[in-house]
Structure 1
């Protein structure tokens, strides 16, 4: 194993050790106000970005920005070319940047927050940042590794990016293929059987690559569950109706946590340890964002948060 991978793996484990974990998130969630919850962040790595936050969206974005910063730091410790392993795992930040630039459902644009700074973890943000209209966003995506989402409505653009992120992760990060398949299951089920929307053809093709043609073409939720490949069925175990998908999402995060910890415990210092660290850090950020929402609601943890914490 190269010195670069050893250094990256050591750094990854050190980052994980500093984060608050489930116990710290539970304390934040029990805070009676958002201000109290934010004060509990001062002793965590999230303090750097969260110290100026005054509302829940800003605080949650600060948590995500902390995660991204540490992924960029981690990428810098990897050997030449190693950062490519993290690019698909950080795709959600580029998707979030695009979402802020698209019109809201009522056709208006709200105030656009500062985009996440992706550095070496970007896929095509420099091109997407210059796109001023949905058709221009579609053209930039089509000319990049994201691929053509199949339409230029805001929904199609974002759905196409999310499914493409799952496809790219499954191909580029073998250790994360299970999570990518789970993402594809949840995205397909939610769009098809909750929102009753047909997937644009490029998105459907990506779903078929990850879940098989039968699942991608299923006409009902029951048919979809039955057609899933064995490796992806875990995502919907005991979720017999589409309105239970929130439980499937909690299970997905729990699975990423468990699998990530298993990768961190690997005896060899290498890519698996780094991927495991990214997984555990991502779960921690998700958990802290949920905990801050609980604090903002008066310290009443949501059921979905309790299912993971």
Structure 2
């Protein structure tokens, strides 16, 4: 089975929601969501980025938003910024949940590539602590504290503003060119993340912020869970100009499995044809090359394709890539090796 290392999941929210039963949900599964240890094992998933995310008062999976997104065109309002003091308890809770999974002995929070490789070789899940939206980081001292706790990947925004930048609202059809660039604090954040070796994740960031990071950062540009705007013109997807900038930096894009960002019509309905995912992969490879494309599922955070309903179904995507004509070497790069390579160059350890 070809191993899969995944660029994004939101599963910590399910662990937190389960309270004292969170470890059981991880170890045994509870029949909900997309990801747990048994399904990762079944799908050949050896690790991934586990996101700390602050819940929004209204998000894209809420009933009213779902109804709106099922019938494009649509343009959702950008949610309000969440104050630091409200965000921090949520972030601590999710970080604690990830560390509780580590105590089961089945998962390890990895801090460098040598540890990541050793963890996979030992048969444990290699987990990267990621923060999707930097609301819980008040200042550079807090960033250093989170780094000491294991944070190795940070998206300055989810789809709402923070003290650092502006996210894109959910809209279709729409350009990502919405709103202003990085704030002074955001520019400092780029510098500090580069110095610490924290990967900066550009998914959810608007175009102006993306351009600022591209100009300021000395690390490979990475979008952990995004799709191709030329195929599906969602505000959340990357334009060819952005893809070329990522390619020029030696960076990487993890293909998002979210049906609404894959579908050319932008509808929030299950994708019925994995061939559309292969169209996105072909386009990404055409600009980024074989070393610049990976997977970023968004498990437990989005509506999945019909034939890729959870982590256990990952072999279906591998089979589709094989049938499409991708060789084993390319599939291994996309499924796992490209993530490890870009982390080696970003973490520098």
* Structure with the larger strand share: 2
Larger RCO of the pair (alpha carbons < 8 Å, separation 6+) = 1
* Structure with the larger helix share: 1
Question: TM over 0.5: same fold?
Answer: no
Q: Higher Cα Rg: structure 1 or 2? A: 1
Task: Output the TM-score relative to the length of structure 2.
Answer: 0.29
